[in-house]
Amino acid sequence: MFKKVLIANRGEIATRVIRACKELDIPTVAIYSEDDATSLYVKKADESYMVGPGPIQGYLNIHRIVDLATRIGVDAIHPGYGFLSENPKFAELCEEKGITFIGPASTTITDMGDKVNARRMMKAAGVPILPGTEDSVKDAGEAVAFAEEMGYPVMIKASGGGGGRGLRVARNRGELVDSFMTAKKESAAAFGLSEVFLEKYLERPHHIEFQILADNHGNIVHLGERDCSIQRRHQKLIEITPSLMLDEGLRARMGADAIKAAAAANYTNAGTVEFLVDNKMNYYFLEMNTRIQVEHAITEETTGIDLVKKQIEIAAGAPLGIRQEDVRINGYAMECRICAEDPKNNFFPSFGKVTAYYSPGGIGVRIDGAIYKDFIVPSHYDSLVVKLIVRGSTWEETVARTHRCLDEFVIRGVKTTILFLKKIMKDPDFKAGGFDTGYIDRKPELMDYDEYGEPTDVVAAISAAIAAHHGF
Ligand code: MV4
């Protein structure tokens, strides 16, 4: 096993990795920037080092991080999610310096990071992909020719993109010609790669992703799926497992294709195969995420498998030790991402000091977070401050329990998404499983919540007493 693991990340996921290392009895190293100096994960690690005064630069400084690791006897690095987690140059530098990158091979990251290439590899492996171009598209004329053969609407996607960046829908020739050059320019600016490709556009699909685990000895299993359709501007708000729309047959077929996808990519470690599913239950490979994801915990709750510990063990060369037939999905789990944002102000980030904090508890409740009373939510990073992960034996119980937990939550000093999430838990369409990727946009009434929360029983009782006193 590893002698010392460095976590090249911050916040919630750094804490999550430290917890896994402690259970495996592996010493940990945290890195931090100036404004994270007082963060919880920095104190929880066995050693911690400041890697940059600037907010973001330190966490992205490949050479500084690898040099530090080499100097202090670190033999493995966990990249978490975001930051360097899908940077093939970072994985490659680790490989060169003899430090184990806890993730897939740098070549796999490169292969899956290029979306045109990923489509090609999946098609060759027999995994269904959306109709689209085999190569990147050079000019608007070529784009129009493809679109008119395929039929509108089409989606223009950046080959170097992913996760919702660099996307455009074109519903006719005019829109396609207008969008094409802009898409290419934006893609060049954002990803340093101007290549774009076209796909047939699927209206209001479901986003279903399969969790896979693969070891260095050729064993691959899937741990079921997560429905991540509830998102806003490509930011996920709520994730659910298992999906309410899949039956056993479809789950088995998609799971087998997820494994096929992983095998085709020479995948090792934990990964996610994303699919779009239409309302006729056709499914298509979308992309592969070569990292641990924010929403991994719901899969841990229904399968009982600690994904981060598995990542570390796999990276150390251990066999998977799980056969597909051993994987059991128990009940339901749902994650609510609690963000320091103001939903009523276009989800504008909210930062500053947390003046009061109380987190829910009880049966089926898990809190993975990085905040506490007096914590100062820094302004430079992702606004995710705590994840509420709830397990239940049925979907109905899981929804009711999540609402109960959101009601117990107290976070003061910064605005959060808690009340908005509570509103979703009471929405009849949500409760009936009637959601796809268009859900949030279709429901402006979700913004219609009382700024100060629903009156609790106590407040209601006091109000009633006052009303009675005044003779109303
Ligand atoms: C699509 C699509 C419809 N048709 N591709 C958005 C994230 C990126 N990974 C791909 N995305 C989409 N690709 C085709 N051909 C619709 C989306 C999409 C979406 C996908 C998953 C979750 C939320 C979404 C919200 C809007 C659009």
For range 198-227, the mean pLDDT: 98
Nearest to 130 by CA among 48, 30, 203: 203
β-pairing verdict for 154-162 and 100-101: unpaired
Tell me the per-residue pLDDT of 428-439, one tens digit each, with 9 for 90 and over: 999 999 999 999
Instruction: Count other Cβ atoms within 10 Å, centred on residue 73.
Output: 10
pLDDT at 331: 98
pLDDT for 316 beyond 90: yes
d(CA 204, CA 396): 24
Residues 6+ away with beta carbon under 8 Å from 298: 226, 239, 240, 241, 333, 334, 335, 389
Which atom of ligand 1 lies nearest, measured to the CA of 163?
A: 9
Tell me the per-residue pLDDT of 271-291, one tens digit each, with 9 for 90 and over: 999 999 999 999 999 999 999
* Ligand 1 binding pocket mutation candidate from 159, 167, 441 (most atoms within 8 A of CB): 167
| 3-class secondary structure, 93 | helix
d(CA 347, CA 345): 5
pLDDT at 185: 86
How sure is the predictor about 370, in pLDDT bands with cuts at 50, 70 and 90?
A: confident
For range 75-93, the mean pLDDT: 98
What is the CATH superfamily name and number for domain 131-200?
A: ATP-grasp fold, A domain (3.30.1490.20)
pLDDT at 456: 55
β-pairing verdict for 206-214 and 47-52: unpaired
* Ligand 1 binding pocket mutation candidate from 119, 227, 273, 276 (most atoms within 8 A of CB): 276
pLDDT at 7: 98
5-102 and 131-200 share one fold: no
With a pLDDT cut of 70, the percent of the chain lying above it is 97
Burial class (CB in 10 A: 0-12, 13-18, 19+), 358: exposed
What residues does 235 pair with on adjacent strands?
Answer: 232
DSSP 193: -
Pick one of 3.40.50.2020, 3.40.50.20, 2.40.10.120, 3.40.50.1220 as the CATH number of 5-102: 3.40.50.20
Residue ranges per structural domain of the chain: 5-102, 131-200, 206-460
pLDDT at 109: 98
pLDDT at 455: 55
Mean pLDDT of the chain: 95
Report CA(145)–ligand 1 centroid distance (Å): 23
User: Is the C-beta atom of 234 inside 6 A of ligand 1?
Assistant: yes
pLDDT for 466 beyond 90: no
Structure tokens at 355: 């003046």
What residues does 365 pair with on adjacent strands?
Answer: 390
d(CA 218, CA 112): 19
d(CA 299, CA 206): 18
d(CA 342, CA 429): 24
The letter for the amino acid at 168 is R
CA-based diameter of the chain, in Å? 80
Burial class (CB in 10 A: 0-12, 13-18, 19+), 62: middle
Tell me the per-residue pLDDT of 404-432, one tens digit each, with 9 for 90 and over: 999 999 999 999 999 999 999 999 999 99
What's the half-sphere exposure (Cβ side, CA atoms, 13 Å) at 151?
Answer: 3
User: Is the C-beta atom of 73 inside 6 A of ligand 1?
Assistant: no
Tell me the per-residue pLDDT of 234-268, one tens digit each, with 9 for 90 and over: 999 999 999 999 999 999 999 999 999 999 999 99
Tell me the per-residue pLDDT of 439-454, one tens digit each, with 9 for 90 and over: 999 999 999 898 776 5
Topology of domain 206-460 in CATH is D-amino Acid Aminotransferase; Chain A, domain 1 (3.30.470)
For range 311-325, the mean pLDDT: 98
pLDDT at 127: 98
pLDDT at 407: 97
Model pTM score: 0.94
Structure tokens at 408: 């117990």
CA distances from 161 to 38, 129, 286, 288 (A): 34, 17, 12, 12
Burial class (CB in 10 A: 0-12, 13-18, 19+), 335: buried
User: Is the C-beta atom of 130 inside 6 A of ligand 1?
Assistant: yes
Report CA(42)–ligand 1 centroid distance (Å): 36
For range 315-342, the mean pLDDT: 98
Tell me the per-residue pLDDT of 331-340, one tens digit each, with 9 for 90 and over: 999 999 999 9
Helices then strands, counting H and E runs in the chain, come out as 17, 24
How sure is the predictor about 194, in pLDDT bands with cuts at 50, 70 and 90?
A: confident
DSSP 458: H
β-pairing verdict for 76-78 and 356-358: unpaired
User: Is the C-beta atom of 207 inside 6 A of ligand 1?
Assistant: yes
